[in-house]
Amino acid sequence: MSKLEFNIVEIPEEESQRSVGLEEEDLDLSPYEFKGGGIDLQFYRTLHFIRVNFHVDADVELVCDRSLESYIQPIVSDYEVLFKVDVQEETENEDGAVRRFNFSSNTLSIEEEVRDTIMLNVPIKKLHPKFLDEDGSPKEFETKKYGDVAEEDEAEGIDPRWEKLKKLKN
């Protein structure tokens, strides 16, 4: 049984809270590497449903798109899952999900939702923090030229081959 799977009988009626610490091996975030974190859970249990609100605070190791250096990206997010018995169709959106609940299994798992919440908060453009300014915006980077650089006058002049082609056209 994983750390994100809970026995229904152990969840008290009405409101309750738990905190779960996760290690690297507790969650598979392929192709990224999970470095650990914590989850604060709030349960609300009735006879008809169980609502689970969770707050994820995790670290993921990413590779910078600009420098190819590894760095740790903190991920912070909230999500809500509602487990109901009489759900005909499971639904989900960016704020929460409604899942069908099977009392015969006597357990509920939020591992998939936690994994998806972390994965959806991984930035599309992975940029090492050393390339960000105080506001979190990318810093301007300078381009360097190596070797002989042509003089501006030569670079702005028209290539003589183009001149000959223009004469042929006329």
pLDDT digits (tens, 9 = 90+) for 103-136: 677 888 899 999 999 999 999 989 888 888 888 7
pLDDT at 153 over 60: no
Distances (CA, A) of 97 to 82, 111, 115, 156, 170: 6, 13, 14, 61, 70
With 0.85 as the threshold, say if the pTM is over it.
no
Distances (CA, A) of 165 to 106, 153, 154, 160: 82, 22, 19, 9
Domain boundaries of the chain, sorted by first residue:
5-131
| Tens-place pLDDT, residues 4-44 | 888 888 888 999 999 999 898 888 888 899 998 999 999 99
| Tens-place pLDDT, residues 55-97 | 999 999 999 998 899 999 999 999 999 988 887 888 888 888 8
| Whether 44 contacts 97, CB under 8 Å | no
